[in-house]
């Protein structure tokens, strides 16, 4: 129920943000589409905690910032490899990952694919099969796993380490 | 003055985005097999898209258009990995053999793992 309310609020805000025209007739159309979409989603039974934007609270923007930095670094790394294709050493990496929620695994797999150099080939019950472009890309996976654990609120380790870096 | 700085920043971002798009395209041609080519394609859908969108955001200023551009970026960053994963998984199921370095485990070892 709580997730449904979050979804409705999110959809309403999204519609208001994208529409930009606030006349009664148009607003009524928006309301109609909101009701229709919510009905379809409830019928399909696909509402879950991923529709709750506050599930990771303040940790999410920080994780995004870190992911953005990782994306920039790995992009430059892969761009360099494009000009030296003889330096790549593609490999398959199998990682056992255990997160609290299925959502953690999805975030892990998605972020892994989002950083060039690593692509999630398969998600299994116990872990992930990942294709990495070279050893350096494969090494970044351990850090990603730690960050997702931190995102789920299991540890405060990364936060402590970050604070240490900022002080230096 | 400020306008000029914002314009130059925006041009630099747009040019960087374009450059990464082209590098991604070159990588698509130069890498040896299907799986490594996916990584090159990854360049065009991440930093290329991010740079171009932020370059356009600087042009748009603070407006509804900026919000729309950022939403486009958000949806792109959510859906692109899903599509890449779907393609990779399809290749794996279709038994496309990756070119791997000698010290790496084979892909076959992990197929049909419960």
A50 is a domain residue: no
B39 is a domain residue: yes
Q: Name which of A79, A85, A92 is nearest B106 (Cβ-Cβ).
A: A92
In eight-state DSSP terms, residue A21 is -
A32 is a domain residue: yes
HEC sequence for A44-79: HCCCCHHHCCCCCCCHHHHHHHHHHHHHHHHHHHHH
Q: Which residue's entry shows tokens 């009701």? A: A35
Q: CB–CB of B63/B50 below 8 Å?
A: no
A122 and A78 co-located in one domain = yes
Tell me, yes or no, if B94 comes closer than 8 A to chain A by beta carbon.
Answer: no
A7 is a domain residue: yes
Identify which of A139, A52, A116, A108 has the alpha carbon closest to the alpha carbon of residue B37: A116
B14 is a domain residue: yes
| Residue span of the structural domain in which B43 resides | 2-93
What secondary structure does DSSP assign to A111-148, as a single string? HHHHSTTEEEEEE-SSEEEEEESSHHHHHHHHHHHHHH
* Helix H or strand E encompassing B24: helix B2-30
For residue B55, the distance in angstroms to the closest alpha carbon of chain A comes to 16
A86 and A154 co-located in one domain = yes
Number of domains in chain B: 1
For residue A150, the distance in angstroms to the closest alpha carbon of chain B comes to 20
For residue B89, the distance in angstroms to the closest alpha carbon of chain A comes to 5
Tokens of A87: 């330096």
Q: How confident is the model at residue B26 (pLDDT cuts 50, 70, 90)?
A: very high
Tell me, yes or no, if A87 comes closer than 8 A to chain B by beta carbon.
Answer: no
B101 is a domain residue: no
Whole-prediction pTM: 0.81
Q: Name which of A20, A79, A85 is nearest B31 (Cβ-Cβ).
A: A85
Number of domains in chain A: 2
List the single best residue of A94, A129, A135 to mutate versus B (max B Cβ within 10 A): A129
A26 and A81 co-located in one domain = no
A96 and A146 co-located in one domain = yes
A67 and A37 co-located in one domain = no
What secondary structure does DSSP assign to A82-108, as a single string? HH-GGG---EEEEEE---SSHHHHHHH
What sign results for the dihedral spanned by CA atoms A20, A21, A23, A27?
Answer: negative
Tokens of A157: 């380790």
A30 and A80 co-located in one domain = no
B107 is a domain residue: no
B31 is a domain residue: yes
- Identify the burial level of B50 via C-beta atoms within 10 angstroms of its C-beta, where 0-12 means exposed, 13-18 middle and 19 or more buried: buried
| Residue span of the structural domain in which A83 resides | 60-167
B25 is a domain residue: yes
pLDDT tens per residue, range A13-45 = 888 888 878 888 889 999 999 999 999 988 888
For residue B59, the distance in angstroms to the closest alpha carbon of chain A comes to 19
B111 is a domain residue: no
Tokens of A16: 């208001």
Asked if B43 lies within 8 A of A116 by C-beta distance, the reply is yes
Residue A70 has pLDDT above 70, yes or no: yes
Ordered strands of the A118-123 beta sheet: A91-96, A127-132, A118-123
A68 and A149 co-located in one domain = yes
A29 and A98 co-located in one domain = no
pLDDT tens per residue, range A80-106 = 989 988 888 888 888 888 888 888 888
**Predicted ipTM of the assembly:** 0.84
Which 46-75 residues of chain B touch chain A by CB within 8 A? 46-47, 50, 64, 67-68, 71
Tell me, yes or no, if A160 comes closer than 8 A to chain B by beta carbon.
Answer: no
pLDDT tens per residue, range B27-51 = 999 888 888 888 888 888 889 999 9
């Amino acid at each position: 129920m709580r997730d449904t309310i979050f979804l409705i609020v999110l959809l309403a805000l999204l519609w208001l943000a994208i529409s930009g025209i606030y006349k009664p007739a148009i607003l009524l159309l928006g309301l109609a589409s909101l009701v229709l979409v919510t009905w379809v989603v409830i019928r399909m039974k696909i509402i879950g905690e991923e529709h709750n934007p506050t599930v990771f609270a303040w940790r999410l923007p920080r994780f995004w910032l870190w992911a953005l930095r990782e994306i920039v670094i790995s992009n430059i790394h892969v761009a360099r490899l494009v000009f030296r294709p003889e330096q790549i050493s593609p490999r398959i990496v199998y990682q056992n990952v255990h997160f609290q929620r299925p959502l953690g695994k999805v975030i892990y797999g998605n972020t892994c694919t989002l950083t060039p150099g690593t692509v999630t080939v398969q998600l299994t019950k116990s872990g992930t099969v990942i294709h990495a472009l070279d050893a350096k890309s494969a090494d970044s996976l351990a850090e990603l796993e730690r960050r997702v654990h931190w995102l789920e609120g299991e540890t405060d380790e990364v936060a402590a380490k970050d604070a240490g870096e900022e002080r230096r | 003055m400020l306008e000029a700085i914002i314009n130059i920043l925006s041009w630099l971002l747009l040019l960087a985005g374009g450059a990464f798009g082209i590098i991604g395209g070159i990588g698509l041609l130069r890498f040896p097999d299907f799986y490594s080519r996916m990584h090159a394609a990854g360049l065009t859908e991440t930093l290329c898209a991010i740079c171009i969108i932020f370059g356009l955001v600087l042009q748009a200023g603070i407006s509804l258009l900026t919000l729309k551009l950022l939403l486009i970026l958000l949806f792109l960053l959510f859906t692109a990995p899903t599509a890449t994963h779907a393609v990779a998984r399809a290749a794996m199921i279709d038994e496309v053999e990756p070119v791997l370095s000698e010290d790496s485990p084979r892909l076959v070892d992990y197929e049909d793992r419960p």
